[in-house]
Amino acid sequence: MKKIAFVIADITFVGGIERVNTILANKFISEGYSVEIISLYKTNLKINYELDNHIKISFVNDGSYLGEPGSFGRLKKHIGSQFKLFKAIKKSNADFYIINTFPMAFLSFFSLFSKKKYVVIEHVHYDYYSAIVRALRNLLYRFFYKVICINKNDLYKFSKHLDNVVKISNPLSFSCSKVADLSAKKIMAVGRLEHQKGFDLLIDIFAKVNKSNPGWELHIYGVGTCEKFLTDKINKHGLNNVKLMGSVDHIQQYYPKYSIFAFSSRFEGFGMVLLEAMECGLPCISFDCPTGPSEILGDGEYGILVENGNLIKFSAELANLMSDEEKKIKFSILSKSRAQEFNIDKIFDEWRKLIS
């Protein structure tokens, strides 16, 4: 029986990286593999996503997950844990290691000189880091068995510098039997309440369409450091029909209650919540941010794609979608069909080939 080990910054964190890792870990277990998750930190007391009881969880530190997501500042704070992480990786004695993102790859560097196979999944878009950090990252990634990109744009850019790059998309985290309630005058958005997610932009957009579309509501699910800022913005606009819903368990139960899903991120690595909304048949509108939405939405074939940061265009397209029942039905059907391309069984076949 092959053993797979996932190396991640903090499995107790709430986000797309953690969700993808739990999906893959559960699938590997169901396919007869032994699985361990090695988490550098333990910020929260519990893991927020369901994990098979047979998966071993090892925490390197009990401390907090510090710094901004993906920042070089966080990388510096991690360095003190490098030796402890090296020991944890060695102790796990797995056959195949799946390292998540550049900072964790950097910290795992000394482990690469063993006979084990190491792959790294790059969850943030290629140009996220400065030119100097990108050069360091590209040099480091030459030592990995494979570099996994989750979208075609990053595959293209990494392939200019590396010959060990492959693309494996993130898988769907659930299947949804319910269909979105297209009669509901409710728009949904999901994500951490952070600058990256662009909920401040979405609130401004909703303020533009609110008067001409009475009876509609915008619900934003998630928690984060921008909660007060967003609350103040909602109050400034006088929008009593925009609600911050906080964090909920089993988000898949909430998607079908809405008729439109709005994705306002300034940048992404993939956009898991967009894919989840499509699985539930939600018509989707998204900024064409780097990277992910354009690939998931098929360059606008399966949903509405708006020039990144163009609030006027987003407002016009959203208002049109809110009032056009036929368009909502069309994109609901297209969303559901597109989501099937990211079925866990299809995605796992690519992982199986990679590790065989």
**Domain-located, residue 317:** yes
Q: Is residue 178 part of a domain?
A: no
Q: Are residues 38 and 102 in the same domain?
A: yes
Measured from the Cβ of residue 337, the count of other Cβ atoms closer than 10 Å reads: 12
Residue 348 located in a structural domain: no
259: pLDDT strictly greater than 60: yes
Do 98 and 199 have their domain in common?
no
Which pLDDT does position 107 carry in this prediction? 84
Structural domain that includes position 56: 3-168
Complete DSSP assignment for 93-144? --SEEEEEHHHHHHHTGGGGGSSSEEEEEE-S-GGGS-HHHHHHHHHHHTTS
Domain final position from 102, 136, 168: 168
Name the 3-class secondary structure at 345.
helix
Task: Examine the pLDDT at 59 and tell me if it is beyond 70.
Answer: yes
**pLDDT cut 90: percent of the chain above it:** 84
Q: In the numeric block, which tokens belong to residue 36?
A: 């361990």
Task: Specify the pLDDT at position 55.
Answer: 98
On whether both 80 and 124 belong to a single domain, the answer is yes
Q: pLDDT tens for residues 179-195?
A: 999 999 999 999 999 99
Asked if residue 198 and residue 86 are part of one domain, the reply reads no
Whether the CB-CB separation of 315 and 298 falls below 8 Å is answered with no
Residue 296 in any domain: the answer is: yes
- pLDDT confidence bin for 73, thresholds 50/70/90: low
87: in domain: yes
- Do 121 and 199 lie in one domain? The reply is no
Predicted pLDDT of residue 232: 98
Domain identity same for 54 and 96: yes
Do 148 and 256 fall within a single domain? no
Q: Would residue 177 count as lying in a domain? A: no
Same domain? 246 vs 273: yes
Question: Are residues 309 and 192 both part of a single domain?
Answer: yes
Using 50, 70 and 90 to split pLDDT, how confident is the model at 75? low
Of the residues 116, 133, 168, the one at which a domain ends: 168
Q: Say how far apart CA 165 and CA 153 lie, in whole Å.
A: 12
Share of the chain above pLDDT 70, in %: 96
Position 347 in a domain: no
Query: Which pLDDT tens digit goes with each residue over 132-169?
Result: 999 999 999 999 999 999 999 999 999 999 999 999 99
Res 76: pLDDT: 60
Inside any domain, residue 181: no
Q: How many domains does the chain have?
A: 2
Same domain, 156 and 213: no
Give the domain-ending residue among 138, 168, 198. Answer: 168
Q: CATH number of the domain that 327 lies in? A: 3.40.50.2000
Least confidently predicted of 100-114, 196-210, 337-351: 100-114
Same domain, 142 and 193: no
State mean pLDDT over 67-80.
57
pLDDT for residue 65: 60
Q: Are residues 221 and 277 in the same domain?
A: yes
Average pLDDT over residues 316-325: 98
For residue 15, name the pLDDT band (cuts at 50, 70, 90).
Answer: confident
What mean pLDDT value characterizes the chain? 94
